[in-house]
C-alpha cells in the first residue's frame, strides 16, 4: 500500500480528436483534485499529530513548528487545485475557440453567397454585397 | 504497510518521509506530463487555429505544469521542514545544499 494515493495513472498526452482533449483534461483534473484533497487531509493530520509532542512551553512551540511543517503541505494542496483549474480552463478555452471558428466560417460562407448572388443578378454590387465581399475576403 | 496502518502514516518519521517522497514523485511526473501535453496540444492545434489562438488554448497547460512543479517542491520542502523542526540530529547530517530555508530563518527557534 502506498502512503500517497492510490490515484489513477496520468493519461498519455495524445490528441487526435476533440474527445481526446476532453478525456485528457477531465482525467487529469480529477487526479489533481484528488491529490489536493489528500494533501489537505494529510496536512491537518500531521499538524494535529506533531502539535501533541510535549515541550517545555506547554506544547506551544510544538504547535507552532507543526503549523510550519503542515503549511508546506497546504501550499502543495493549493498548487494541485490551481493546476486542476488550469487544466479545466484549457478545455474550456478550446471549446470557446472552436465555437468562434465555427461562427467565423458560417459568416464567411453567408458573405460569399451574398456576393455571388449580387454578381449573378446584375454585375453591380450593392453596398451590402460589397461589405459581404469584404468580410469574405477578410476571413 | 498493511491496510489498517494506512491512516497512521503521518504518525512516524518514516511515514512522513514515504508520504512526502511519493507525493513529490507523483507531482513531478504530472509536471513533466503536462509540459509534454502543452507541446502536443500546441502542435495539434496550430494548423487548425493558427499560432496565436493555439497558444491561447494551450498555455493553460503550461501554467498547470508550473503549478504541479511547485506542488512537487512543497512536498519535498515539507519533509525537510519536518526534519529541521522535529529531527534536528538528522537535519544536521544533511548536506547544506539540501537544507531548504537554512538562511537567517534557521536559528529562529534557537534561544
- Residues of chain A with pLDDT > 90: what percent? 53
Q: Does A2 touch chain B (CB under 8 A)?
A: yes
Nearest-CB residue to A76 (from B9, B22, B23): B23
pLDDT at residue A106, as a whole number: 80
- Looking at per-residue pLDDT, the higher value among A41 and A133 belongs to A41
**Low-confidence residues of chain B: pLDDT under 70:** 1-8, 98, 100-111
- pLDDT score of B101: 52
Smallest CA–CA distance, residue B58 to chain A, in Å, is 6
Is some CB atom of chain A closer than 8 A to the CB atom of B81? Answer: yes
Which residue has cell 498519455?
A12
Res A46 pLDDT > 60: yes
In percent, the amount of chain B with pLDDT more than 90 equals 57
Size of interface A-B (CB pairs under 8 A): 143
Degrees, nearest 5: CA angle A13-B32-A45: 110
Interface contact B22-A72, CB threshold 8 A: no
Mean pLDDT of A82-98: 93
Q: Which residue has the higher pLDDT, B86 or A2?
A: B86
Whether complex ipTM tops 0.90: no
Mean pLDDT of A45-67: 91
The per-residue pLDDT for B22 is: 93
pLDDT of residue B108: 42
Q: Could you tell me the end-to-end alpha-carbon distance of chain B, in angstroms, rounded to an integer?
A: 39
- End-to-end CA separation in angstroms for chain A: 57
CA distances to A16, A113, B55 from B63, in Å: 22, 43, 12
How many residues make up chain B in this entry? 111
Mean pLDDT on A93-104: 85
Task: Provide, as residue numbers in chain A, all residues whose Cβ is less than 8 Å from the Cβ of B7.
Answer: 45
Question: CB under 8 Å to A3, separation ≥6 — which residues?
Answer: B1, B9, B15, B18, B19, B22
Q: Within chain A, what is the greatest distance between any pair of CA atoms?
A: 99
CB contact under 8 A, A76 and B19: no
State whether residue B37 sits within 8 Å of chain A by CB.
yes
Which of A2, A50, A61 lies nearest to residue B22, judging by beta carbons?
A2
Q: Contacts of residue A38 in chain B, CB cutoff 8 Å?
A: 23
* B-chain residue closest to A49, CA distance: B11
- What pLDDT score does A102 carry? 80
Say how far apart CA A20 and CA A29 lie, in whole Å: 14
Residue A49: its pLDDT value, please? 93
Collect all residues of chain B within an 8 Å Cβ-Cβ radius of residue A35.
23, 26-27, 71
In this prediction, residue A64 carries a pLDDT of 93
Quote the pLDDT of residue A97: 87
- Burial-class residue A53 by CB neighbours within 10 Å (0-12, 13-18, 19+): middle
Q: In this predicted model, what pLDDT tens digit does every residue of A4-44 receive, in sequence order?
A: 878 888 999 999 988 999 999 999 999 999 999 999 999 99
Is B24 an 8 Å CB contact of chain A? Answer: no
Of the given ranges (A37-41, A95-99, A135-139), which has the lowest mean pLDDT? A135-139
Interface contact B106, partner A, CB < 8 A: no
The per-residue pLDDT for A139 is 62
Chain B contact for A114, CB < 8 A? no
Please tell me if residue A139 touches chain B, with a CB cutoff of 8 Å. no
What's the whole-model pTM score?
Answer: 0.79
pLDDT of residue B46: 92
Amino acid at each position: 500500500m502506498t502512503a500517497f494515493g492510490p490515484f489513477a495513472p496520468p493519461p498519455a498526452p495524445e490528441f487526435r480528436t476533440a474527445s481526446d482533449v476532453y478525456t485528457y483534461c477531465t482525467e487529469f483534473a480529477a487526479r489533481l483534485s484528488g491529490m489536493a484533497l489528500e494533501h489537505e487531509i494529510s496536512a491537518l493530520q500531521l499538524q494535529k499529530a506533531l502539535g501533541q509532542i510535549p515541550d517545555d512551553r506547554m506544547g506551544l512551540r510544538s504547535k507552532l513548528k507543526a503549523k510550519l511543517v503542515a503549511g508546506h503541505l497546504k501550499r502543495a494542496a493549493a498548487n494541485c487545485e490551481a493546476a486542476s483549474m488550469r487544466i479545466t480552463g484549457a478545455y474550456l478555452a478550446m471549446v470557446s475557440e472552436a465555437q468562434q471558428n465555427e461562427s467565423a466560417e458560417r459568416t464567411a460562407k453567408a458573405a460569399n453567397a451574398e456576393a455571388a448572388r449580387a454578381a449573378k443578378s446584375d454585375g453591380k454590387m450593392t453596398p451590402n454585397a460589397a461589405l459581404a465581399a469584404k468580410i469574405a475576403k477578410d476571413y | 504497510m498493511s491496510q489498517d496502518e494506512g491512516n497512521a502514516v503521518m504518525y512516524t518519521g518514516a511515514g512522513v518521509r514515504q508520504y512526502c517522497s511519493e507525493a513529490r514523485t507523483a507531482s513531478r511526473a504530472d509536471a513533466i506530463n503536462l509540459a509534454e501535453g502543452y507541446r502536443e496540444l500546441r502542435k495539434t492545434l496550430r494548423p487548425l487555429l493558427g499560432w496565436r489562438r493555439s497558444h491561447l488554448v494551450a498555455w493553460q497547460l503550461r501554467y498547470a505544469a508550473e503549478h504541479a512543479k511547485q506542488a512537487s517542491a512543497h512536498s519535498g520542502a515539507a519533509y525537510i521542514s519536518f526534519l529541521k523542526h522535529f529531527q534536528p540530529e538528522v537535519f544536521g547530517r544533511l548536506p547544506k545544499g539540501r537544507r531548504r530555508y537554512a538562511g537567517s530563518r534557521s536559528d529562529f527557534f534557537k534561544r
